[in-house]
């Protein structure tokens, strides 16, 4: 039965919807085949830590498709023997939805866990540290959570949307879709389920959000997303399923970059020097209103190549693409 479930997920070609785009079926297969330690357990984490500005697709799915999420987690519980699950919730989502979610869980071996403050607390290995009662900072990989996660046990960590699609796959209702949130200066803001093959241009058109003014976009994250110009719309979204629309004529680029810098300064764990010092130096440069592009390129290189986790690497993208394309 478990092998049949995993094979159906593999056959669907489903990619995880948390941003990394790893094959979901392969991840499930590794967890199933990984030996347990003396605890003899396997764990499942539904990561609902969504925390980037103006990104809210997971919130929409929790509010509108909760039964599918719970069913997706139940499928995982049925797939892995002697398993236990956590739903790791963004602090604001926890306050708003915890009663509704507890009711939907019923008697299933699923616990809710409230994410602490800090963007880094949503990084997958930081999630493990927090649930274990430790400081929210990332772990060294390898070992990867699928082999050694919570308390050293094989642990499946999937995004809210991934569990939604798992449920659809096992019901025979999966249609190779993704959820996209469109915000900012959008005519019709919201969350939309569209084919995963959709380009940015198609998403804007299908959601009636094609701007009729001089615009640019931030795509794939509300802080870590890259800047996309009007002549670059014929591509798929990388990262998170989000599009933020900006009016180019009414946007102060320095104010926008300061917003990103403050977000990353508040959200990082201070564990590694490249991320901590790199973002700090970018912020200090922005305060002066003077951009030294040569120095910034050095900072971007260090962030991308030597940051301990994905936060530092993600922090580089918005600054680099905005400065390259708009300044």
248-300 pLDDT tens trace = 999 999 999 999 999 888 877 777 777 778 888 888 888 887 888 888 888 88
Identify the CATH number of the domain in which residue 43 sits. Answer: 3.40.50.11540
Shared domain for 81 and 210, answered yes or no, is no
Shared domain for 118 and 163, answered yes or no, is yes
Alpha carbons 42 and 101: distance in angstroms, whole number: 22
Report the pLDDT value the prediction gives residue 267, as an integer from 0 to 100: 75
Helix pair 66-79, 91-105: axis angle to 10 deg: 70
Identify the CATH number of the domain in which residue 245 sits. Answer: 3.10.20.600
Asked if residue 162 lies in contact with residue 16, where contact means CB atoms within 8 angstroms, the answer is: yes
Mean pLDDT of 105-110: 97
Q: How many helices (H) and strands (E) does the chain have?
A: 12, 9
In Å, how far are 93, 153, 171 from 112, measured between CA atoms? Answer: 11, 19, 25
Which of 10-19, 142-151, 157-166, 265-274 has the weakest average pLDDT? 265-274
Tell me the per-residue pLDDT of 44-61, one tens digit each, with 9 for 90 and over: 999 999 988 999 999 999
Shared domain for 161 and 21, answered yes or no, is yes
Residue 327 — very low, low, confident or very high, per pLDDT cuts 50/70/90?
Answer: confident
Residue 141 C-beta-side C-alpha neighbours within 13 Å: 17
Q: At which residue do the structure tokens 């002066």 appear?
A: 288
Shared domain for 28 and 74, answered yes or no, is yes
Shared domain for 154 and 14, answered yes or no, is yes
Shared domain for 309 and 243, answered yes or no, is no
Shared domain for 197 and 243, answered yes or no, is yes
Helical residues (DSSP H) of 193-237, grouped into ranges: 200-206
The residues, ordered by sequence, that sit 6+ positions from 290 with a Cβ below 8 Å of its Cβ are none
Domain-terminating residue out of 171, 205, 225: 171
Asked if residue 300 lies in contact with residue 316, where contact means CB atoms within 8 angstroms, the answer is: yes
Mean pLDDT of the chain: 92
Asked if residue 233 lies in contact with residue 200, where contact means CB atoms within 8 angstroms, the answer is: yes
Shared domain for 272 and 227, answered yes or no, is no
Report the pLDDT value the prediction gives residue 183, as an integer from 0 to 100: 97
In Å, how far are 43, 53, 132, 175, 193 from 242, measured between CA atoms? Answer: 29, 10, 31, 20, 12
Range of the domain at 210: 177-250
Shared domain for 294 and 162, answered yes or no, is no
Mean pLDDT of 156-169: 97
* Nearest of 118, 90, 250 to residue 184 by alpha carbon: 250
The residues, ordered by sequence, that sit 6+ positions from 23 with a Cβ below 8 Å of its Cβ are 10, 13, 14, 15, 16
Verify cis geometry, omega within 30 degrees of 0, for the bond prior to 136: no
Shared domain for 239 and 289, answered yes or no, is no
Asked if residue 125 lies in contact with residue 47, where contact means CB atoms within 8 angstroms, the answer is: no
Asked if residue 285 lies in contact with residue 295, where contact means CB atoms within 8 angstroms, the answer is: yes
Q: Is 244 helix (H, G, I), strand (E, B) or coil?
A: strand
* pLDDT at residue 20 greater than cutoff 90: no
Number of structural domains, the chain? 3
pTM: 0.94
Helix (H) or strand (E) holding 297: helix 293-306
Shared domain for 139 and 104, answered yes or no, is yes
**Furthest CA-CA distance within the chain:** 62
92 vs 303, residue with greater confidence = 92
Domain-terminating residue out of 142, 171, 200: 171
Domain-terminating residue out of 111, 137, 171: 171
Shared domain for 263 and 216, answered yes or no, is no
């Amino acid at each position: 039965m478990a092998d049949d479930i995993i094979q159906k997920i593999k056959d669907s070609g489903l990619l995880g919807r948390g941003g990394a785009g790893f094959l979901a079926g392969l991840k499930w297969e590794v967890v199933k085949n990984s030996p347990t330690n003396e605890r003899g357990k396997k764990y499942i984490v539904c990561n609902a830590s969504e925390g980037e500005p103006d990104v809210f697709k997971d919130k929409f799915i929790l509010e509108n498709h909760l039964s599918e999420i719970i069913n997706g987690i139940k499928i995982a519980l049925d797939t892995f023997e002697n398993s236990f699950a956590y739903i790791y919730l963004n602090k604001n989502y926890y306050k708003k939805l915890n009663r509704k979610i507890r009711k939907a869980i019923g008697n299933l071996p699923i616990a809710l866990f409230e994410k602490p403050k800090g963007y880094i607390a949503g990084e997958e290995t930081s999630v493990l540290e927090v649930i274990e009662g430790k400081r929210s900072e990332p772990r060294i990989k390898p070992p990867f959570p699928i082999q050694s996660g919570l308390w050293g046990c094989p642990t499946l960590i999937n995004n809210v949307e991934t569990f939604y699609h798992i449920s659809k796959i096992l019901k025979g209702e999966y249609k190779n879709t993704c959820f996209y949130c469109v915000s900012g200066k959008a005519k019709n803001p919201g969350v939309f389920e569209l084919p995963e093959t959709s380009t940015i241009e198609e998403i804007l058109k299908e959601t009636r959000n094609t701007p009729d003014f001089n615009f640019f976009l931030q795509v794939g994250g509300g802080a870590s997303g890259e800047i996309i110009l009007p002549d670059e719309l014929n591509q798929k979204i990388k990262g998170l399923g989000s599009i933020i629309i900006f009016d180019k004529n009414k946007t102060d680029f320095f104010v926008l970059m300061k917003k990103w810098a403050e977000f990353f300064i508040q959200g990082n764990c201070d564990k590694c020097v490249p991320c901590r010092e790199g973002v700090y130096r970018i912020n200090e440069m922005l305060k002066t209103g003077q951009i030294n592009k040569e120095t910034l390129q050095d900072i971007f290189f260090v962030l991308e190549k030597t940051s301990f986790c994905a936060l530092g690497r993600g922090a580089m993208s918005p600054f680099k693409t905005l400065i390259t394309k708009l300044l």
